[in-house]
């Protein structure tokens, strides 16, 4: 039997790191936007003498530790042969929440294929825990389960964290400027975390005074500067757009930027990916 699911990707504009002994309580505060581009995952299974998990991204075998963690948590030691195929709309390791979307779409598809009976909230918990344990993300899953323009007021997994969802429409223009950034490296550095959290607290307070996309972009850009996460290449791209009258900011965490203005495409000599804000979260297809 097989099943297929889709999870949208997610751009975080700013975030604070909250690590707890319990992965359910670990996560990030902050804010971001959920995209209509994401990860479509098909899961197939058959009975076997021993458990085997095979994961593909496109036509290539994928060492997708987060996806594998979700599967193992959901089926335990059941002797099944599981084949997973991810179709990915956005660049990986560039701040688009791809690993979270892959984990969440896998959870939805596996739940249907095996008729496991987990709720959407529980599927989100599996995906969130896998992200936290693999140090690949902290706040993408709870947003990707929700959809929309999402403010994460309280860190944690779906059902533990607290989000505010706003429905503002916008086209999103994404540019990959520099090489990928390892989320694991950032989340493993206590000094970097302290600086991030100081900037994040101010950013969240500023956004909640006026929770709209215009202010979100402004606050995110300021966070990119004050947190120290924006490198010279990304900053140069943001400055070029600003000189042309277009606001943009860094996708957390990646060497990418995003803007809500179509004029951005004419100001910077880079290929872009166009998306829209999606107000529906992960689902079966």
List the CATH number of the domain containing 224: 3.30.70.890
Q: What is the pLDDT of residue 1?
A: 85
Does 190 score more than 90 pLDDT?
no
Both 135 and 206 in one domain: the answer is no
Does 188 score more than 80 pLDDT?
no
Tell me the average pLDDT across 50-70: 94
> Per residue in 245-272, pLDDT tens?
999 999 999 999 999 999 999 999 999 9
CA 87 to chain centre: 16
- What is the residue-averaged pLDDT of the chain? 95
Does 181 score more than 90 pLDDT?
no
Both 123 and 73 in one domain: the answer is yes
Contact criterion met (CB below 8 Å) for 109 and 266: no
Both 93 and 202 in one domain: the answer is no
Tally the domains of the chain: 2
Q: What is the pLDDT of residue 137?
A: 93
Q: What is the pLDDT of residue 205?
A: 97
**Torsion sign (Cα): 139, 142, 146, 147:** positive
Both 142 and 198 in one domain: the answer is no
Both 123 and 177 in one domain: the answer is no
Q: What is the pLDDT of residue 147?
A: 96
> Per residue in 74-89, pLDDT tens?
999 999 999 999 999 9
Q: What is the pLDDT of residue 74?
A: 98
Residue 13, domain CATH:
3.30.230.10
Q: At what angle do helices 213-226 and 190-209 cross, to 10 degrees?
A: 150
Both 82 and 177 in one domain: the answer is no
Both 144 and 224 in one domain: the answer is no
Both 148 and 179 in one domain: the answer is no
Does 192 score more than 90 pLDDT?
no
Q: What is the pLDDT of residue 99?
A: 96
Q: Could you tell me the pTM of the whole model?
A: 0.96
Q: What is the pLDDT of residue 76?
A: 93
Both 161 and 198 in one domain: the answer is no
pLDDT-derived band at 30, boundaries 50, 70, 90: very high
Range of the domain at 248: 173-274
Distances (CA, A) of 182 to 95, 147, 186, 215, 244: 10, 25, 7, 27, 31
> Per residue in 86-140, pLDDT tens?
999 999 999 999 999 999 999 999 999 999 999 999 999 999 999 999 999 999 9
pLDDT-derived band at 161, boundaries 50, 70, 90: very high
Contact criterion met (CB below 8 Å) for 116 and 106: no
Contact criterion met (CB below 8 Å) for 165 and 149: yes
Q: What is the pLDDT of residue 167?
A: 87
> Per residue in 197-210, pLDDT tens?
999 999 999 999 99
Q: What is the pLDDT of residue 59?
A: 81
Both 122 and 217 in one domain: the answer is no
Both 34 and 155 in one domain: the answer is yes
Q: What is the pLDDT of residue 259?
A: 98
Q: What is the pLDDT of residue 182?
A: 79
Both 157 and 198 in one domain: the answer is no
Q: What is the pLDDT of residue 100?
A: 97
């Amino acid at each position: 039997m097989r099943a297929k699911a889709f999870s949208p990707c997610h751009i975080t504009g700013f975030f604070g790191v909250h690590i707890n002994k319990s992965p359910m309580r670990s996560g990030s505060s902050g804010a971001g936007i959920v995209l209509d581009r994401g990860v479509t995952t098909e899961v197939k299974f058959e009975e076997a003498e021993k458990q085997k998990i095979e994961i593909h991204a496109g036509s290539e075998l994928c060492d997708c530790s987060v996806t594998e963690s979700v599967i193992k948590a959901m089926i335990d030691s059941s002797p099944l042969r599981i084949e997973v195929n991810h179709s990915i709309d956005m660049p990986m390791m560039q701040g688009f929440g791809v690993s979270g979307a892959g984990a969440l779409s896998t959870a939805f598809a596996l739940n249907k294929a095996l008729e496991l009976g987990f709720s959407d909230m529980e599927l989100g918990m599996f995906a969130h825990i896998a992200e936290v344990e693999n140090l690949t993300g902290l706040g993408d899953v709870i947003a990707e389960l929700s959809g929309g323009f999402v403010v994460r007021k309280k860190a944690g997994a779906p059902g533990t964290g607290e989000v505010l969802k706003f429905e503002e429409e916008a086209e999103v223009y994404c540019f990959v400027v520099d090489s990928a950034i390892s989320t694991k490296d950032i989340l493993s550095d206590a000094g970097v975390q302290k600086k991030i959290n100081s900037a994040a607290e101010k950013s969240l307070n500023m956004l909640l005074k006026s929770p709209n996309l215009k202010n979100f972009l402004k606050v995110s850009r300021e966070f990119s500067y004050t947190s120290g996460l924006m490198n010279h290449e990304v900053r140069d791209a943001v400055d070029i757009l600003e000189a042309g009258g277009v606001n943009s900011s860094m996708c957390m965490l990646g060497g990418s930027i995003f803007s809500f203005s179509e004029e951005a495409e004419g100001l910077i000599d880079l290929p872009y990916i166009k998306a829209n804000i999606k107000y529906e979260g992960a689902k079966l297809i």
